[in-house]
Amino acid sequence: MQPHQSAPPARPTSKVFIIGLPRTGTTSVSVALLEMGLRVAHQAFTKQAVILADAVSDAPCFSDYRQLHSLYPDAKFVYLDRPLDAWVPSMQMLLSRMLVHLDQERGRFHPLLKRSFGHIFGIYRVADPMDAEHLKTCYQVHKQQVFDYFHQDQGLAQQFLSLQLEDPLSLPRLANFIGGDAQVDSSQLAFPHLNRGRNVASWDEYKHELKINSNLAGPENRKYFNYKI
């Protein structure tokens, strides 16, 4: 008798974009989505990566959600909220590591990542991008713009979910929002807590067959969509 092989999980009917800012739990959510059976790109810098992923998180989603909604009108969008008193020092730590690589001329990071950080955090316009009050303002402005956009009408609001990962019901709420066959393992009652403290590399270290390479080449090589923000 042949061993039983379970059918692969059904893909969600709509693409999912995680549009919370860095250090709000984007890696933890991305790993949870992998475990639900979704193909996930944690950052997507090519058109092919976006096309092949069921879910995309982090850059450029948090800055480009309007344009991504225009490309995928039926997509679902998940905003991640985090208390400011926890987020600000975490974001300052991240920027202390990233700013040298975000330099417009010499930085080694992808141009789309630089664009997202420049657009949301004004790192090329302000004297001190790590200033606590500046970061609070960036967070609050981004959150207000996101909520204003997705609450324009009732239909659009149904494509939007706001989560705070500390909420014990946030994981099943996410699975229910995604729909399809996305299910939560009964032994997994909360999101995996990754990128703790000063760790910022958990996604690279996490091995999973459903991960989508951020720089995945396709028929148009590594071209991205030609929209502007």
The per-residue pLDDT for 188 is: 53
Contacts of residue 168, Cβ cutoff 8 Å, sequence gap at least 6: 189, 190
Low-confidence ranges of the chain (pLDDT < 70): 1-11, 180-201
CA distance 200 to 23: 9
Each residue of 188-218: b (16+ CB within 10 Å) or e?
A: eeebbebbeeeebebbeeeeeebbbebebee
Q: Which residues pair with 226 in a beta bridge?
A: none
The per-residue pLDDT for 187 is: 44
Please write the tens of the pLDDT for every residue from 19-58: 999 999 999 999 999 999 999 999 999 999 999 999 999 9
The per-residue pLDDT for 137 is: 98
CB 212 within 8 A of CB 40: yes
The per-residue pLDDT for 7 is: 39
Please write the tens of the pLDDT for every residue from 176-192: 999 865 555 544 555 56
The per-residue pLDDT for 3 is: 39
CB 113 within 8 A of CB 104: no
CA distance 119 to 85: 23
